[in-house]
Amino acid sequence: MNRNISKPMLPIALIIIHVVLGYAISLSSVIAMAWSIIILFGGFYRIITNHNRNEEAAMWSAYIAVSDVPLRACGGALVWEIGKLGIVAFLVAGLLFEQKGKWKLPAAAFIMLLLLIPGAVMTFSWSDNPREALTFNLSGMVCLLTSMAYFYNRAISHTAIKKIFAYSLLPLISLSFLLFFRTPDVRTITFTSDANFVTSGGFGPNQVATILGYGWLLILVLITMQEKVTASKWITYAILAFFLYRSLFTFSRGGNLAALLALASFVWIYMKSGQKRVNISRSFCSLIIFGILAVSVVVSINSITGGMFENRFTGKRTDGEQREDITTGRADIMALDYELFIENPLGVGAGGSSYFRRIEFQDEHASHNEFTRLLSEHGIFGVIIILMMLIKPITYNRKIPEGENRAYCLMFYVLCVASMMHSGCRTAIPEFLYGLSFIYLTPRT
């Protein structure tokens, strides 16, 4: 089919609806809660009635994975981990109700799930509220393994993958406008070189930047692949610039750096394949336009913030002096997690890293790195989980066709791992992307 006459992935009507929704939830947590109920009931209805024929489970999982942050930011989440639990529920429903024959679940996912059990049992030895500790600290890994089980070697058409992308972009439009409406006049904000909660809508800047980084990355890749994202390329570039602006304006570095690494991996793998399906000159022009947009956005934010943006992203303090620790304490937390592992080779139990770091080292911070958290909380079992989790997508990637399929899978994998290194499993999107790194894209028709 000629790409120029194909339907846009994001119809204008849906874009407007999600802009209005972003404004509405900025005013009322009740509206946000109603949105979460509609997502759950609408998702289950579509999955069950259509028997998951068109990958409805994947599409609605993509939607709730991104809706997770705006819902929590507005107090509209029915449960705090609505994104992760929603993904698990939708994907399991998809497997149960689809009519595609017997399941072919990967053994690696089952093994990693079993390896989490000792740490889960150990939690009961120290926690006063083990149910909450287990839900908060294991929901991310359970979501990741469910996503892996669902998508592993799953044949996904190009039509379906574009719909999955569209379903994840729409809530990002709501989030971006939620931030816009919640951010006060910038002249009233005192900017420092720290992550900014005010420009993040009062929510965690790290989490907001993580999913907005995914948003601008996805749109840029689709533009580069000459996909028709909206009815107008100028609207598409406007959304791209807005996502980038709101992401950088959080002053959170990790989400944007992770997206850059994922972009580099996609471009490298796709161009290395030597395929000529995409017009290279047009794709290169798209990257040049993005570079101009990015520079414009950076200059604008740096001017608005009186140079604090530059200080933040160059590792300087508010007074302009270079920080001794550019990780703002994350490296220390990782080191303490490693010490806990050395002292407790079998782990301290799910959620125990924060508890025992507070007791032994007087450190009040939670882990931001999912890998050192697995190490300290699950011990040697965590080591095995980490190795399997990192190696399995790479071995799978080498088996699938070169070109678009391999580039997408590596991009998902890099973004997942990079996000989990700076933000753990705080958002649902890295876990969902981990599963997508195992898809098999069917040939275009």
Predicted model pTM: 0.91
With H, G, I as helix, E, B as strand and everything else as coil, classify residue 154.
coil
Name residues whose C-beta falls within 8 Å of residue 10's C-beta, 6 or more positions apart in sequence. Answer: 166, 169, 170, 229, 230, 239
Q: Determine the distance from the C-alpha atom of residue 349 to the mean position of all C-alpha atoms in its chain, rounded to a whole number.
A: 25
Q: How many CB atoms lie within 10 A of CB 288?
A: 10
- Closest residue by Cα to residue 441 from 142, 225, 173: 225
Q: Which tokens is 41 given?
A: 């009931």
How is residue 184 annotated by DSSP? -
Rg (CA), the chain: 21
- Closest residue by Cα to residue 288 from 242, 232, 220, 226: 220
How is residue 327 annotated by DSSP? T
Q: What was the pLDDT predicted at 136?
A: 81
**303/27 Cα distance (integer angstroms):** 29
pLDDT in tens, the chain (445 residues): 344 457 888 999 999 999 999 999 999 899 999 999 999 999 999 999 999 999 999 999 999 999 999 999 888 888 888 999 999 999 999 999 987 655 678 899 999 999 999 988 988 888 778 888 888 888 899 999 999 999 999 999 989 999 999 999 999 999 999 999 998 888 888 888 788 888 888 888 888 999 999 999 999 999 988 889 998 989 999 999 999 999 999 988 888 999 999 999 998 887 776 555 556 666 777 788 888 988 999 999 999 988 888 888 888 888 778 877 676 677 888 888 888 889 889 988 888 878 787 777 776 667 778 899 999 889 999 999 999 999 999 999 888 877 888 999 999 999 999 999 888 888 899 999 999 999 998 887 6
**10/14 Cα distance (integer angstroms):** 7
